[in-house]
C-alpha cells in the first residue's frame, strides 16, 4: 500500500518497527521517518495499518501530540465497531480529523493498487484523503459517518468467512462422493469470475421483502426455485454419504428470506 503512494506529489514518509519493509520502501523512493514524532511533523495525512485495536491506539497515542490541527489520520486496520468513534474523539481534541478506512482485496489488491477502501468520517475528512487513497484502491467508498467504514468491512467479511465455512462443507461432501477437490476449486473460481459469486444478488438498496410487482421478484423467484432444488439434492446426497452439512440445511430454510421473498405459502409484501 505504501509503495503505491510513492508517486504522490511531495512523496511519502514511512515508519515501521520492522526495518526490512522500510528499507524496501526507501529503495523505491519513500523517505524514512526516524520515529512517529518525525512522521507526525512531516505529513498532513497519516495512514495506519497495524494488527489490532491495541496497536492502533498505541500508534495514535504517540502521533497525536506531534500533529497539527487540520491534519487527517486514516486507520486501515479492521477494528471493533466502537473503536473508530473513540479514536476520532481523541483526535478531535487535538484538532485532527480521523477516518476509519478498512480495506478489502488482500495482498494482490495491495500490490497493484486495486483495493476496495471503505471510509467512515466527515465529508471534509473524506475529501482530504480521497485522492491519496485512490492510489491504493480502485474502489474508494464514503460509507458514511465515523465507524461506517468498519461496519461495512465487518459485513463484507461476514460474507467472506461464512463462505469459507461453506467451502468446508462442500469439500467434505465432494470428497465423500469421490470427487477431485482441486478440480472443484477450479470450477468454483471459474464460475464465480463469470457470475460475480454472492455479490451477483447484491444490487438492491434494501434487505426488506420485495413488494408485489417489483421487477426483481421474477428474477429472484427463479433463483429461489433453482437454489432450493439444488440445496435439497445436496443435503440428500450428504445424508446418503453421512456428511454433516448444517450450513446447507440452514440455507435451504433461509434462502427465500435472504432473497427478499416470503416462504412458500406466504405473500411477498
Residue 229 annotated to the active site: no
Per DSSP bridges, beta strands 103-104 and 97-100 are unpaired
Whole-number Å distance between alpha carbons of 113 and 6: 12
Of 71, 76, 153, 224, catalytic = 153
Whole-number Å distance between alpha carbons of 17 and 49: 12
Number of other residues whose CB lies within 10 A of the CB of residue 42: 16
Residue with cell 435451504: 252
DSSP for the chain reads --GGGTTSTT--EE--S-HHHHHHHHHTTPEEPSSHHHHHHH-SEEEE--SSHHHHHHHHHHHGGGPPTT-EEEE-S---TTHHHHHHHHHHTTT-EEEE--EESHHHHHHHT-EEEEEES-HHHHHHHHHHHHHHEEEEEEEESTTHHHHHHHHHHHHHHHHHHHHHHHHHHHHHTT--HHHHHHHHHHHHHHH-GGGGG---S--SPPPTT-HHHHHHHHHHHHHHHHHHHHHHHHHHHT---HHHHHHHHHHHHHHT-PPTTS---
Tell me the catalytic residues: 153
Amino acid at each position: 500500500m505504501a509503495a503505491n503512494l510513492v508517486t504522490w506529489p511531495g512523496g511519502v514518509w514511512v515508519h515501521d518497527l520492522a526495518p526490512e519493509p522500510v528499507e524496501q520502501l526507501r529503495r523505491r523512493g519513500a523517505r524514512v521517518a526516524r520515529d512517529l514524532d518525525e512522521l507526525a511533523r512531516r505529513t498532513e495525512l497519516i495512514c495506519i495499518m497495524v494488527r489490532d485495536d491495541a496497536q492502533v491506539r498505541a500508534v495514535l497515542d504517540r502521533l497525536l501530540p506531534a500533529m497539527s490541527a487540520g491534519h487527517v489520520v486514516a486507520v486501515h486496520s479492521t477494528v471493533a465497531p466502537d473503536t473508530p468513534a473513540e479514536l476520532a474523539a481523541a483526535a478531535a481534541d487535538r484538532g485532527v480529523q480521523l477516518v476509519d478506512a478498512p480495506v478489502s482485496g488482500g495482498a494482490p489488491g495491495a500490490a497493484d493498487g486495486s483495493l476496495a477502501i471503505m471510509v467512515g468520517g466527515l465529508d471534509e475528512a473524506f475529501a482530504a484523503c480521497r485522492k491519496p487513497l485512490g492510489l491504493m484502491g480502485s474502489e474508494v467508498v464514503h460509507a458514511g459517518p465515523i465507524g461506517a467504514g468498519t461496519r461495512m468491512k465487518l459485513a463484507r467479511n461476514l460474507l467472506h468467512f461464512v463462505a469459507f465455512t461453506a467451502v468446508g462443507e462442500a469439500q467434505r461432501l465432494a470428497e465423500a462422493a469421490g470427487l477431485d477437490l482441486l478440480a472443484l476449486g477450479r470450477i468454483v473460481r471459474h464460475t464465480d469470475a463469470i457470475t460475480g459469486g454472492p455479490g451477483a444478488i447484491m444490487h438492491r438498496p434494501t434487505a426488506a421483502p420485495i413488494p408485489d410487482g417489483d421487477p426483481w421478484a421474477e428474477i429472484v423467484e427463479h433463483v429461489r426455485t433453482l437454489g432450493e432444488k439444488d440445496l435439497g439434492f445436496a443435503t440428500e446426497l450428504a445424508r446418503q454419504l453421512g456428511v454433516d452439512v448444517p450450513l446447507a440445511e440452514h440455507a435451504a430454510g433461509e434462502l427465500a428470506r435472504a432473497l427478499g421473498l416470503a416462504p412458500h405459502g406466504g405473500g411477498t409484501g
